[in-house]
Structure 1
Amino acid sequence: MEAIAHQSVKLCPFMRQTISSAQGVKQLRSANLPAMAKKCPVVGHAMQKRDYATASAAPAAATASKLGAETVANHATQESSFDFDGLFERDIEKKRLDKSYRFFNNINRLAREFPMAHRQTEEEKVTVWCSNDYLALSKNQQVVDVMKKTMDKYGAGAGGTRNIAGHNQHTMRLEAEIAALHKKEGALVFSSCYMANDAVLSLLGQKVKDLVIFSDELNHASMIVGIKHANTTKHIFKHNDLQHLEELLQMYPKSTPKLIAFESVYSMSGSVSEINKICDLAEKYGALTFLDEVHAVGLYGPHGAGVAEHCDFEAHRLSGISSVPNKRTVMDRVDMITGTLGKSFGTVGGYVAASSKLIDWCRSYAPGFIFTTTLPPAVMAGAAEAIRYQRRHLDLRQQQQRHTSYVKQGFEELGIPVIPNPSHIVPVLVGNADLAKQASDLLMEDHRIYVQAINFPTVARGTERLRITPTPGHTDDLSDILLDAVDDVFNQLQLPRVRDWENQGGILGVGQKDFVEEANLWTEQQLQLTNDSLNPNVLDPVLQQLEVSSGIKA
């Protein structure tokens, strides 16, 4: 340092004037060099022109203060603040330009007039055709009465997390009901299924060393976020492509810990996964299975446990709430099942059902569970009542299926393009974001029908659609009104019909040559059953409290 300083003094007039002695050269070690450089007519001008900021300004200033030297200016205070509002405005404008900007409609569903709702005023009534309240249990009188009674006695809130405020009989009963529904040893309730998926998947990635996650490309955002938070190796396999999944699984030794994450019913397309075959691959390559049944619980299986139960429909129907004897069912083969209380079960919340060890592990380690306030007692009591009610009402699922079939058949006769699927989802293909929004607006303004447009990023660009979901309350007369309204909107906007998609080569099974449509999950034989066809043990079962809900004693 001193050698460089001596050389600088010889060459630079400014340095010769500033440092006139050997002692001055030695003091350069502790001097405020940026401040000195600013006084130089050459270097100082260059610094000002390039707007250099000094690094570690605070420590330099402190050092200078100790030496009684000039304090360095804090350049950060002289600059303009970051333009946050400008960033927000630009990003929002991007969404407006690509027609993916979202408008939320003011929809106030009327419990006594379901599926009717009103808009801003009660006189502005509309028919709701896109709710995920699939069985209309949110307005079920038994569920509502239980919630009212519970709220009157125990208040509006839970008082905090289970770790701090403790939990209650409503929590324990609900988790017992969920475990019994899926025939698992344990269950854990979260504030939402988004939280459940995120918490469980991220925990597995963080705690299981070298875990590799295999995720279907159409998995829900909650699973995508959970896998991202898992911070581990992941592979995305093509939607429902088991050959591609196996190719990815083959890349790792069986001893490498693996997890396959997928859904049963994919809510925007209505496609359904082959759960049994995925379980085959999981067992072959040593993987855990994580199944999201959010859009299937309440709708499939004799007791509404989802598609996994539906795979062994008759065996579960005969055994009722008991385990199926002498057979390992598809539901048994799945390691983790997540579901929601906010769709078919008409309330709010989410859950995971699995072995008691896995549930106790999640209960003990998952931050998304430990640090989240418990659901209110009334909500949990209502959800438990909804599960019990729908379990013994097979007719609700059957009505929903019949109404779905009626609407799909009506659209087919009109040439309205519906993305083919074997489930309860009716995705009407539009293929353009702006037109999908216009179609939704016309249905609302001209026909008093509410169907939300589905645009990017929920679905891929060019596949925008109207997503219709009939319920037991959407009777044929209402369906006829819907069919006429959608037909009118397609005429007004000149939207492409099936024949138009055929001319373009087809897309997503619409207008595609040689496309083989899957049969409906519900068979005609299953649709002919009655509530009396169920095992009597489902009518009012007495369920024992799960030890894992409170913590397993050593």
Structure 2
Amino acid sequence: MQETKPKNLPFFSELPAYFSRLESQKRVRSLDPPSGLDLCSNDYLGLSQNLKLQEALKEGIDLYGAGSTASRLVRGHRTVFEELESEFSNWVHSESSLFLANGYAANVGTISCVADPSYMIFCDRKNHASLMDGVRLSGGKKIYYRHCDMEHLEDLLKKYSGHANKMIVTESIFSMDGDASDLPALLSLKEKYGCLLYLDEAHSIGVFGEKGAGLSSAQVPSEISNIDFRMSSFGKALGLEGAMVSTSADARKYLLHSARTFVFSTAPMPAIAHAGLTSVQLVQEMNEERKKVLALAEHLRSSLQAIGKDTGNSSSQIVPILLGSEAHALDLADKLAGEGFQAKAIRPPTVDVSRIRVSINAKVEKNDLDRFIRIIQEN
């Protein structure tokens, strides 16, 4: 999801009117899991409902209790965190990794810790808000390049080629558009202009690459070590919560002592790390599920395009149906819900164009999608 920037934030005295406007725009929060076929969550492999993973989580609570009680640098550390970091690093071919509470904490903490006001930070225009918040907190100079436009990025890098400290920040699979970064081109530019490269693999891990090790393992398997930082979420295809930052051993040591979202946060539940070991094992064996998810996404894209719908440049399990207005997106989402499909309307300012964001998971079947497509065609 690209960053959002509220405009004209009201004073507290104006909040009632502000919330009234939100109500009229039908921004609804579901407090309980909604009914209907899931076409909107990020549980791409269905692991959140996997019985082995659930049992591992229960076992972790029996072993370690309900909470960690403190930050890892105080009393919250358990050996199981290091075991998970080691297993994860082996899986994604990284020298080292650090486990944090979630992807937001990982992105904000790492970028704001590594960069400082001396940095020029080159950001894809559609980067997730957590990436941009990390950039802002670093104090570095934020420079946007057009979404996935490597020529524009190089033009900007040339302009600032004399600047010593530079970082490129991007996602591998973009959460709202479902398109992919050109990692070979990014690595080439990183080397040519002497930049650090920060890659968010939240929507890529588990779905792409050898044994699900991420888009980097699919596009640049021999150059993975040249990516300075890779953030991988446990809250999507891995079915749990938490996040890993995979990097060099020296950089991990620096983050462990300096990343504020790590140092000053209560450690995640040790039970999550215990279950994470099972998740990492399971996901590596789910090649058939990965093939199914990507094949169904391609079927959905081609079918939608055949009936004249715009799916942008999606090439992943995330397929946007781009629409002309917010009202159309909201009405279509309501109709889909009435027909038993959970596919949400996403609107500005979260995205530039209103849409139905469809995310495919391994529990979906082709006949479900065909019925979904018929409803889209009729509306």
Normalised by the shorter chain, which TM-score bucket? over 0.9
**Counterpart of 1:395 in structure 2: which amino acid?**
E
Question: 1:427 aligns to what?
Answer: 320
1:286-297 equivalence runs, <5 A? 286-297=194-205
Question: 2:7 aligns to what?
Answer: none
- Max Rg structure: 1
Instruction: Return the match for 1:358 from 234, 251, 255.
Output: 251
Instruction: Return the match for 2:106 from 196, 202, 205.
Output: 196
Q: Which runs of 5+ in 2 are unaligned?
A: 1-9
1:455-505: CA deviation from partner (whole Å, max 9, x where unpaired): 112101xx10001111111111222222223233x1xxxxxxxxxxxxxxx
Question: 1:87 aligns to what?
Answer: 14
- Distance in 2, matches of 1:415 and 1:247, equals 35
Instruction: Return the match for 1:161 from 71, 78, 87.
Output: 71
Instruction: Return the match for 2:218 from 287, 305, 310.
Output: 310
Q: CA deviation at 1:94?
A: 4.8
Normalising by structure 2, what TM-score? Answer: 0.92
Q: CA deviation at 1:431?
A: 2.4
Q: Which runs of 5+ in 1 are unaligned?
A: 1-82, 109-118, 120-124, 317-328, 491-554
Checking the alignment, whether the CA contact within 8 Å between 2:314 and 2:320 is kept in structure 1 is no
- Distance in 2, matches of 1:484 and 1:104, equals 27
**Counterpart of 1:454 in structure 2: which amino acid?**
I
- Distance in 2, matches of 1:449 and 1:106, equals 17
Correspondence 1:470 to 2:357: no
Question: 1:484 aligns to what?
Answer: 374
Normalising by structure 1, what TM-score? Answer: 0.64
Q: CA deviation at 1:381?
A: 1.5
Question: 1:396 aligns to what?
Answer: 289
SS in 1 for 2:207: coil
The 1:356–1:479 alpha-carbon spacing in structure 2 relative to 1, beyond 3 Å, is: same
Of all paired residues, the percent bearing the same amino acid is: 27
Correspondence 1:458 to 2:350: yes
- Distance in 1, matches of 2:341 and 2:160, equals 51
- Distance in 1, matches of 2:147 and 2:332, equals 28
Instruction: Return the match for 2:152 from 228, 237, 244.
Output: 244
Q: CA deviation at 1:89?
A: 2.3
1:125-524 equivalence runs, <5 A? 125-206=35-116, 210-254=118-162, 256-312=164-220, 329-445=222-338, 447-460=339-352, 463-488=353-378, 490=379
Q: CA deviation at 1:254?
A: 5.0
Q: CA deviation at 1:193?
A: 0.6
- Distance in 2, matches of 1:204 and 1:174, equals 23
- Distance in 2, matches of 1:476 and 1:202, equals 43
Checking the alignment, whether the CA contact within 8 Å between 2:120 and 2:163 is kept in structure 1 is no
- Distance in 2, matches of 1:485 and 1:356, equals 51
Q: CA deviation at 1:406?
A: 2.2
Q: CA deviation at 1:107?
A: 4.5
- Distance in 1, matches of 2:205 and 2:293, equals 13
Instruction: Return the match for 2:27 from 102, 109, 131.
Output: 102
Checking the alignment, whether the CA contact within 8 Å between 2:311 and 2:322 is kept in structure 1 is yes
The 1:234–1:412 alpha-carbon spacing in structure 2 relative to 1, beyond 3 Å, is: closer
- Distance in 1, matches of 2:28 and 2:163, equals 49
Checking the alignment, whether the CA contact within 8 Å between 1:403 and 1:472 is kept in structure 2 is no
- Distance in 1, matches of 2:51 and 2:115, equals 42
Structure whose residues are more often strand by fraction: 2
1:132-190: CA deviation from partner (whole Å, max 9, x where unpaired): 00111111121111111111222111111111114112211211122112211111111
- Distance in 2, matches of 1:190 and 1:245, equals 30
SS in 1 for 2:253: helix
SS in 2 for 1:283: helix
1:388-435: CA deviation from partner (whole Å, max 9, x where unpaired): 111122112111112212222332333333223222211011121122
Q: CA deviation at 1:363?
A: 0.6
- Distance in 2, matches of 1:156 and 1:243, equals 50
User: After the TM superposition, which of the residue ranges 233-242 and 342-351 deviates more from structure 2?
Assistant: 233-242
Higher RCO (CA < 8 A, seq sep 6+): 2
**Counterpart of 1:89 in structure 2: which amino acid?**
P
Count of matched residue positions in the alignment of Structure 1 and Structure 2: 370
**Counterpart of 1:257 in structure 2: which amino acid?**
N
1:43-92: CA deviation from partner (whole Å, max 9, x where unpaired): xxxxxxxxxxxxxxxxxxxxxxxxxxxxxxxxxxxxxxxx9642222433
SS in 1 for 2:36: strand
**Counterpart of 1:294 in structure 2: which amino acid?**
A
1:183-228: CA deviation from partner (whole Å, max 9, x where unpaired): 111111111111111011111223xx61211111111000111101
Checking the alignment, whether the CA contact within 8 Å between 1:390 and 1:396 is kept in structure 2 is no
Question: 2:3 aligns to what?
Answer: none
Checking the alignment, whether the CA contact within 8 Å between 2:119 and 2:167 is kept in structure 1 is yes
- Distance in 1, matches of 2:161 and 2:336, equals 54
Checking the alignment, whether the CA contact within 8 Å between 1:211 and 1:232 is kept in structure 2 is yes
- Distance in 2, matches of 1:303 and 1:274, equals 20
1:91-128: CA deviation from partner (whole Å, max 9, x where unpaired): 3345456x4x62123442xxxxxxxxxx4xxxxx4111
Question: 1:512 aligns to what?
Answer: none
Q: CA deviation at 1:437?
A: 1.1
